[in-house]
């Protein structure tokens, strides 16, 4: 088992405090969803966890090693990251894009047989094999989302960190992606950390939920605990009703709190 832990994370953007002493530890075998209103610092926290941003205070440790001290290539092999609204600059094929996930493994010679096998597995897992030879710039938002998840999985990472991976997916594909994240964590023992906006999907998918407001952790625990009406009122300023249904916790937003 592996752990990813943030201790006393503080990040400034200009003169704004984006993260103010965030303490959070994540473990493999679990799906953790980071929730919070716009501007709460979710993306910044994820970038710090991925070792892509140096915090002004505190540090992130991967199995007790400071993540910024790791060799970038070694880090990239263990930790896959999907940025929010990722840019795709050129009209490459889906398979080529997924193959970019092998970057930390390849030398100057390009992809080998192992790499191609890993790319195929990742495309199958994300159900994009049928569109392997499509031009990525012609994909729908949902197809693009799945291709980008496949790209991250092609590196067979122990950790998968994804910033808003469900944005732009229709309910069916969003559920599929949730199922995939759960499989990756529960059956394959990876650590999955995602930021989300959809409360009900988060409640269904995540084993654990971390609610961030104003750069600090407001709640941290299993969905039913972390997403209490009090937390939602404080985080989002909404009045919410929680019911336990067939698929887990259902969250109904009644209106503005207040």
Residues lying near another protein in the complex (CB under 8 A) are found at 47, 50, 52, 71-77, 79-81, 83, 86-93, 96-97, 100-101, 103-104, 106, 108, 133, 135, 151, 155
Tokens found for residue 165: 């991976």
Residue placing its CB nearer to another protein in the complex, 106 or 257? 106
Residue placing its CB nearer to another protein in the complex, 107 or 172? 107
Residue placing its CB nearer to another protein in the complex, 36 or 99? 99
User: Least distance in Å: CB of 230 to another protein?
Assistant: 35
E-only strand ranges, the chain: 3-13, 16-27, 31-35, 57-62, 65-66, 79-82, 159-163, 191-195, 208-213, 216-221, 238-245, 248-256
Residue placing its CB nearer to another protein in the complex, 49 or 218? 49
Tokens found for residue 236: 């989002």
User: Least distance in Å: CB of 235 to another protein?
Assistant: 26
Residue placing its CB nearer to another protein in the complex, 123 or 249? 123
Helix, strand or coil, per DSSP, at residue 61:
strand
User: Least distance in Å: CB of 108 to another protein?
Assistant: 7
User: Least distance in Å: CB of 82 to another protein?
Assistant: 8
User: Least distance in Å: CB of 99 to another protein?
Assistant: 9
Residue placing its CB nearer to another protein in the complex, 5 or 52? 52
Q: Cα dist. 98→48, 90, 189, 258 in Å?
A: 24, 14, 22, 47
Tokens found for residue 19: 């993260």
Closest CA to 191 of 202, 204, 203, 207: 207
User: Least distance in Å: CB of 155 to another protein?
Assistant: 8
User: Least distance in Å: CB of 21 to another protein?
Assistant: 24
- Phi first, then psi, for residue 208 (nearest 5°) are -150, 145
Closest CA to 100 of 76, 84, 124: 76
Contacts of 118 (CB under 8 A, 6+ apart): 101, 102, 154, 155, 156
Residue placing its CB nearer to another protein in the complex, 73 or 241? 73
């Amino acid at each position: 088992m592996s752990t990813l832990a943030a201790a006393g994370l503080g990040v400034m953007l200009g003169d704004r405090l984006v993260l103010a002493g965030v303490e959070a530890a994540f473990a493999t075998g679990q799906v953790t969803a980071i929730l919070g209103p716009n501007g709460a610092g979710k993306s910044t926290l994820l970038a710090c966890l991925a070792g892509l941003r140096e915090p002004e205070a505190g540090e992130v440790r991967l199995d007790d090693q400071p993540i910024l001290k790791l060799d970038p290539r070694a880090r990239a092999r263990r930790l896959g990251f999907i940025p929010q609204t990722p840019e795709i600059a050129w009209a490459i094929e889906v398979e080529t894009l997924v193959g970019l996930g092998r970057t930390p493994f390849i030398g100057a010679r390009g992809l080998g047989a192992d790499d191609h096998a890993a790319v195929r597995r990742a495309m199958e897992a994300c159900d994009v094999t049928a569109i392997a030879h499509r031009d990525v710039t012609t994909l729908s938002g949902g197809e693009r989302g799945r291709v980008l998840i496949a790209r991250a999985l092609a590196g067979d990472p122990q950790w998968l960190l994804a910033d808003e991976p469900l944005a732009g997916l229709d309910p069916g594909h969003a559920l599929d992606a949730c199922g995939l994240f759960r499989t990756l964590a529960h059956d394959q023992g990876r650590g999955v950390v995602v930021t989300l906006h959809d409360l009900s999907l988060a409640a269904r998918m995540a084993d654990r939920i971390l609610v961030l407001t104003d750069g600090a952790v407001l709640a941290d625990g299993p969905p039913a605990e972390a997403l209490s009406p009090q937390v939602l009122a404080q985080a989002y300023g909404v009045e919410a009703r929680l019911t336990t249904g067939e698929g887990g916790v259902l969250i109904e937003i009644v209106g503005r709190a207040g």
